[in-house]
Structure 1
C-alpha cells in the first residue's frame, strides 16, 4: 500500500530490516512525563481488534496501535515470527518511531508472552509505566489449560470461528470497524503470517519464556501498576462445542472429554490470571463475566477501566 492511501494517523517506521505500521490516536502528550498507551495484539491478529477500546479512551490520551510484521500495513520481516523476535521488533519500533514517553502496555492473549519477552529484553526501566493484561497467556498456561485441545477442535471443525463464539452479534465495533477487522483477517497476506505464528511459533514460545526463569525475579515490575482482566473461557468453548455438536461433529468420548474441559476451564484460567499478580506489588484483578476470550471486542469498557486504573496508580507511583 502506498503512503498516499494509508490512514492519516499512520507512520511507516523503518526498523532497519523493514517497516512497521504505527497508528497514533489522540493528541501528543502535554508533558514528557505523561504515560502513553501501546496496544499489543494476540496471535494471528492485527491492530484492528482494538478499535472499540481506542474509541472509548479519553480524547486527551495519546495511544498507539501497530501491526506486527506481515499484518495490515506492515511489511514482512526477514525474521521468523517467534515471540523473542516480535519483542525485538517492538523494541526497535519504539526506538525508531520514536516513542519517548513511558508506556502503558495493553496486551491480549499471546501478548502476555510477548510482553514478558519484551520485559526480558529491555528490563524494567522508565520506558514502562504499567500493564493491562487482557485474558493474557501466562507462561505456564500449556501446563494448566490446553487451549489447543484436539478433542475441542475436532468438535468445532467447520464452525465459523467468530460466529461460533457469538462475536458477530456481541462485538462492540462499529459496522465499518467490524468489516475492516474481518476483511483484514481474510487476506492471503494475513493468513500466511497468522498460520506461521499460530502453527509454528505459538506453542514453543511458552517453554522458551519459562527457560528465562523470570518467575524467580518477581515482582518483575516492582510497584508499577498491573491490571489483570480475565475472560470466561467456558463461554467460548461451550458455544463452539454446541455449534459443532449441531453439525454432528465428535464422538461421544470426545464430547464427554470436552464437557469436562469446559467444567474446569474458568477455575484454571482464574489461577493463571492470579499468577500475573506476582509481577508487581500494586495489582488489580477483574473478570469480564459477559465475555469469552475476546474481551476487547465484547466489553471494551473493561479494558478502558484498566487503562484508567493504571494511569491513576502510575501517577501515585511517580
Structure 2
C-alpha cells in the first residue's frame, strides 16, 4: 500500500490533471477529488453534500492551490467502516487522510455539518492545520434550532430526519432513486451534466442514510458539549455566514414555513454563527450577501475570497 500511495502522490505533484480516486487511510477507503499545486486546501462538504457539488468551485481554487475534497466515511464510494459515525470519528478520518497523503499545514474548509467536523478536528488535532474556513457551519449548539415551535408536523426537525434516514437506509438503490427523485432533480439544476450520474448514485446510496442516522443521533440529540470553543487553537480562521434575508426567503419557499417561523429559526442560526466568530483572536467574519445556506453554489466568490486571504497570509 505504501508504494501505491507514494506513486499517487508523485503523480499528483507533477501532473496538472484532475484525480478522482479512492485512498486507503488505514482502516477504510475514502473517495477523493484532487487538482492543483502549491499550498493545500482540504474541503469537507456538508451533511448530504457530495464531492460533485464542489467540483466547480474546486476547479477555480485549484488555479492557485492544491485542492482536495472528499466524501466522508459512509457517503458516495467511501467506506462506512465498522465504527458508528459521529463528528469525532469524522475528524479522525480527516486526520488520517492528511497523514496518509503527507500534507503539511493545510487550509481546511468545512461547510454546514462539515464545519462541525472541522471544529471537532481543530480541538482534537490542534497543530495540524494552517488555517480554517467555516462556511455557514453547523454549531455544537445546533439542537437549539429544534426548540422553535413549527405549526403542524415539523418534517425538518432532527427527530423527523432520523426517522426518514432509518426508512431510506432500508430501501434498495432503485427505490431510493424514486424516493429522492425531486431532490436529485433540484441538484442537477445547479450542477454540470457531467456530474448528474454521480449525484444520482450518491443520493440513492442506502449506506449514506445509515451514516446520517448515526451522525444525527449522536451529534444533534445525544451530545451536549459545554465550553466547546475554549480549546480552539489560535490558528487563522474565517467564518462565512449566509445572508439572513436570502435564507428566510428560501425557508418560506422551499420548506413551506410561515415567515415568523423562518425568522425565529434564522435568528438562532445567526446567533450561533456569531458565536463562531469568537473561536479565537484570529477569527474574521464574512457575510455572504445574497446567499442562502449553499454558499458554494449560490455565491462561491465569498469562499474564493476567504481562501485567497489565508493563502496570502501563509505566503507572507
Is 1:303 aligned with 2:303?
yes
* Pair 1:185–1:19, CA change in 2 (3 A): closer
CA shift at 1:209, angstroms?
6.0
SS in 2 for 1:279: coil
Partner of 1:81: 85
Deviation at residue 45 of structure 1 after TM alignment:
2.7
Query: CA–CA distance in 2 between the matches of 1:262 and 1:287?
Result: 19
TM-score, normalising length from structure 2? Answer: 0.76
Aligned to 2:106: 103
Q: How does 1:121-270 map to 2 (within 5 A)?
A: 121-123=124-126, 125=127, 127-144=128-145, 151-153=153-155, 160-161=182-183, 169=189, 171=190, 173-177=191-195, 179-187=196-204, 190=205, 192-206=206-220, 210-211=224-225, 213-217=227-231, 220-231=232-243, 232-242=246-256, 258-270=258-270
> 2:134 is paired with a residue of what secondary structure?
strand
Equivalent residue, structure 1, for 2:26: 16
Q: Which residue pairs with 1:274 in the alignment?
A: 274
| Rounded Cα–Cα distance in structure 2 between residues aligned with 1:168 and 1:10 | 20
SS in 2 for 1:24: strand
CA distance in 2, matches of 1:56, 1:106: 15
* 1-structure distance, mates of 2:156, 2:233: 40
Partner Cα separation in structure 1 for residue 282 and residue 267 of structure 2: 23
Q: Which is bigger in relative contact order (C-alpha 8 A, separation at least 6)?
A: 1
Q: Distance in 1 between matches of 2:226 and 2:116?
A: 12
SS at match of 1:236: helix
Instruction: Identify if the C-alpha distance between structure 1 residues 151 and 207 changes in structure 2 by more than 3 Å, giving closer, same or farther.
Output: closer
With over 3 angstroms needed to count, the CA separation of the structure-2 counterparts of 1:194 and 1:236, relative to structure 1, is farther
Q: Secondary structure at the match of 1:78?
A: coil
Equivalent residue, structure 1, for 2:116: 113
1:241 to partner: Cα distance: 3.6
Cα pair 1:225 1:314 within 8 Å, conserved: no
CA–CA distance in 1 between the matches of 2:193 and 2:225? 43
- Distance in 2, Cα, partners of 1:14 & 1:58: 23
Q: Tell me, what secondary structure is at the counterpart of 1:296?
A: helix
CA-CA distance at 1:62 after TM superposition: 0.6
Superposed CA deviations along residues 178-216 of structure 1, whole A, max 9, x for unmatched, are x145323333xx3x2332233332243146664363333
Deviation, 1:282, is 2.3
Instruction: Indicate the SS of the match to 2:30.
Output: strand
Contact 1:233 1:269 (8 Å CA) reproduced: no
Question: SS where residue 66 of structure 1 aligns?
Answer: strand
Of residues 6, 20, 42, the one that matches 1:38 is 42
- Pick closer, same or farther for the CA change 1:42–1:147 going to 2, 3 Å: farther
Q: Calculate the TM-score normalised by the size of structure 1.
A: 0.75
Cα distance change on mapping 1:18 and 1:94 into 2, 3 Å: same
- 5+ residue gaps, structure 1, are 1-6, 30-34, 243-254
